[in-house]
């Protein structure tokens, strides 16, 4: 069996097993940032007029669902400690900060009948303060924390949610768009839909296997498009910013060079991100063709009178197509893909059973503290190339990329990962891929969903035993700072000390 792992060659030196070309530089206008999300860092879960969201509800009613029985009630306490967060951004010298707003902090009823001014004031403080230091906000409208009240009305399975989300988006654009020039509607459609409604993984942990994800995906696409059109028609003319969409994509390569494995890799991409992005970015719009046909055929064979993946109307397809100014990708890991690796899921119908494809990672790839995260060689380049092949030269932002450890301050594993990922991003730039920016996940340790606080992704360590939630820079923070400052990756660079300062101009 020939394993087709693509490695970009013409290396000059090898560092950490990574091909390193010399004298390469990120362009001056390349954006370096860090990412966070509201539920993972804010805390203040019932303060300042905020209402309960689906993560508050899950962690308060089913603590056992979280590995360490923890929750985001306080998290990093960024609701109170945001000034320290901004100081850290200045220490790093980042160009942009990606964070999300909590729908239930801005609209505690879920609906736009009442705007919580205290919630608006909280986000205004962050935006105004970072702009003082020339740090551009990139705001995600929805990073998984749906108001619980809307969940009780069906959440993302209720088609009316497209309007509820559009109303929320209008409030966000109206209140913040004079200063925020970059919006993302959704963080990771698949994680919202498959993990929330199909596979009992993330909140709200519903198990409508083989059906829930598809209904949610359709509603999400319509919600996104409505928000985009509102921005485009009513706000862009005066505010002049951009509005995009972010998905999670691993770099999938065919296990062998057979046609079957090439098709398996294509089907897998269609399921795990094309389902969400083809309707927006593909030439003809609509769901991915082969996936759509597979689900229709399977549904029929299973006795369903109609496909479990309900198509858009032609009018809806046209309404959704082209509704994104950039492609946001959260990228962490990769795998090799083949139908020969398929093992039937325990529950059928299931999206995985629909495609009958499986994946594997190689033993020798470094393993992070997260079971799902292994470091595939050159994986940033591979995923960006897959996106470019699919959608052409759309501007791309890597809106998350990072590595989890159980390490303390000396986080050599994370340092190696970031250096390798950014070398791979340089390969993409060298190849003419339209990559505009890179956001490290994450500024600091935070509540890592089902893993609670057992896995750490931060450039800054957070002491969750300390009521002050003290933040301390890790080695990786110094390394990332040096890369941002010089726009180059110096694999020999070692921080002189672990004392952080703010450089002039930040």
DSSP letter at 326 equals: S
Say whether residue 188 binds ligand LWIWXZAE (CB under 6 A): yes
Rounded to whole angstroms, how far apart are CA atoms 157 and 136?
34
Q: Where are the beta strands (DSSP E) in 403-450?
A: 435-440
Q: Which stretch binds ligand LWIWXZAE (CB under 6 A): 158-166, 187-195, 411-419, 469-477?
A: 187-195
Say whether residue 37 binds ligand LWIWXZAE (CB under 6 A): yes
* CB of 59 vs ligand LWIWXZAE, minimal distance in Å: 15
Rounded to whole angstroms, how far apart are CA atoms 427 and 455?
29
Say whether residue 386 binds ligand LWIWXZAE (CB under 6 A): no
Say whether residue 448 binds ligand LWIWXZAE (CB under 6 A): yes
Give the total of residues touching ligand LWIWXZAE (CB under 6 A): 16
Would you say 173 or 441 has its CB closer to ligand LWIWXZAE?
A: 441
Angle at 69 between CA 155 and CA 81, to 5 degrees: 80
CB 75 within 8 A of CB 453: no
Say whether residue 457 binds ligand LWIWXZAE (CB under 6 A): yes
Q: Which residue from 250, 279, 358, 437 is in contact with ligand LWIWXZAE, where contact means CB under 6 A?
A: 250
Q: Which residue from 140, 191, 282, 424 is in contact with ligand LWIWXZAE, where contact means CB under 6 A?
A: 191
Rounded to whole angstroms, how far apart are CA atoms 276 and 427?
27
Q: Which among 486, 401, 487 has a CA at the least distance from the CA of 440? A: 401
The DSSP bridge partners found for residue 327 are 245, 396
Would you say 239 or 405 has its CB closer to ligand LWIWXZAE?
A: 405
Rounded to whole angstroms, how far apart are CA atoms 173 and 233?
12
Say whether residue 337 binds ligand LWIWXZAE (CB under 6 A): no
Say whether residue 441 binds ligand LWIWXZAE (CB under 6 A): yes
- To the query of whether residue 91 is one of the catalytic residues in this protein, the response is no
Which tokens in the block code for residue 476?
Answer: 């990786």
Say whether residue 248 binds ligand LWIWXZAE (CB under 6 A): yes
Would you say 186 or 287 has its CB closer to ligand LWIWXZAE?
A: 186
Say whether residue 417 binds ligand LWIWXZAE (CB under 6 A): no
Task: Look up tokens 């064979």; give the residue.
Answer: 301
Residues 297-336, mask of contacts with ligand LWIWXZAE (x by CB under 6 A): ---------------------------------x-xx---
Say whether residue 187 binds ligand LWIWXZAE (CB under 6 A): yes
- Residue 10: exposed, middle, or buried by beta-carbon count in 10 A (0-12, 13-18, 19+)? exposed
- For the four alpha carbons of 36, 42, 43 and 46, in that order, the dihedral sign comes to negative
CB 341 within 8 A of CB 360: yes
The residue length of the chain stands at 506
The separation between the first and the last C-alpha atoms of the chain, rounded to the nearest angstrom, is 53
- To the query of whether residue 400 is one of the catalytic residues in this protein, the response is yes
Q: Contact residues for ligand LWIWXZAE (CB under 6 A)?
A: 37, 40, 187-188, 191, 248, 250, 330, 332-333, 372, 400, 441, 448-449, 457
Catalytically annotated residues: 188, 400
């Amino acid at each position: 069996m020939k394993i087709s792992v693509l490695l970009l060659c013409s290396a000059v030196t090898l560092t950490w097993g990574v091909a390193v070309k010399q004298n390469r530089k990120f362009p001056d206008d390349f954006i370096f940032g860090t990412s966070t999300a509201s539920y993972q860092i804010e805390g203040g879960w019932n303060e300042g007029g905020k209402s309960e969201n689906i993560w508050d509800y899950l962690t308060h009613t089913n603590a056992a669902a979280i590995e360490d029985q923890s929750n985001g009630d306080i998290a990093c306490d960024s609701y109170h400690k945001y000034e320290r967060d901004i100081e850290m951004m200045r220490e790093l010298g980042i160009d942009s900060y990606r964070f999300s707003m909590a729908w239930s902090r801005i609209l505690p009823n879920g609906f736009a009948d009442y705007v919580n001014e205290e919630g608006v004031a909280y986000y205004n403080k962050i935006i105004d303060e970072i702009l003082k230091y020339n740090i551009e906000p990139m705001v995600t409208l929805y990073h998984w924390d749906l108001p619980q009240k809307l969940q009780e009305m069906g959440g993302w399975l209720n088609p009316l949610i497209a309007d509820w989300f559009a109303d929320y988006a209008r409030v966000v654009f109206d209140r913040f768009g004079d200063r925020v020039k970059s919006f993302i509607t959704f963080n990771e459609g698949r994680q919202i839909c498959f993990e929330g409604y199909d596979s009992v993984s993330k909140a709200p942990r519903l198990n409508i296997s083989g059906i829930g994800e598809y209904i949610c995906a359709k509603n999400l696409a319509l919600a996104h498009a409505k928000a985009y059109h509102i921005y485009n028609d009513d706000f862009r003319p005066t505010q002049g910013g951009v509005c995009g969409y972010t998905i999670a994509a691993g770099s999938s390569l065919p296990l062998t060079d057979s046609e079957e494995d090439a098709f398996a890799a294509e089907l897998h991409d269609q399921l795990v991100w094309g389902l969400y992005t083809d309707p927006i970015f593909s030439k003809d719009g609509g769901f991915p063709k082969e996936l759509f046909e597979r689900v229709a055929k399977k549904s029929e064979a299973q006795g369903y009178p109609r496909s479990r993946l309900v198509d858009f109307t032609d009018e809806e397809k046209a309404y959704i197509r082209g509704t994104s100014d950039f492609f946001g990708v959260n990228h962490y890991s990769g795998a090799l893909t083949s139908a020969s690796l398929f093992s039937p899921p325990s529950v059928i119908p299931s999206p995985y059973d629909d495609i009958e494809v499986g994946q594997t990672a190689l033993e020798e790839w470094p393993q992070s503290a997260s079971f799902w995260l292994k470091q595939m060689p050159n994986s940033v380049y591979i995923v960006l190339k897959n996106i470019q092949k699919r959608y052409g030269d759309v501007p791309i932002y890597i809106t998350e990329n990072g590595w989890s450890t159980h390490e303390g301050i000396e986080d050599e594993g994370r340092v190696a990962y970031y250096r390798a990922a950014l070398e791979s991003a340089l390969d993409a730039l060298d190849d003419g891929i339209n990559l505009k920016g890179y956001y490290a996940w994450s500024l600091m340790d935070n509540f890592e969903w089902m893993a609670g606080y057992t896995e750490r992704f931060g450039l800054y360590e957070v002491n969750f035993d300390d009521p002050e939630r003290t933040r301390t820079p890790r080695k990786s923070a110094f390394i990332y700072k040096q890369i941002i400052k010089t726009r180059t990756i110096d694999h020999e660079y070692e921080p002189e000390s672990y004392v952080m300062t703010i450089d002039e101009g930040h």
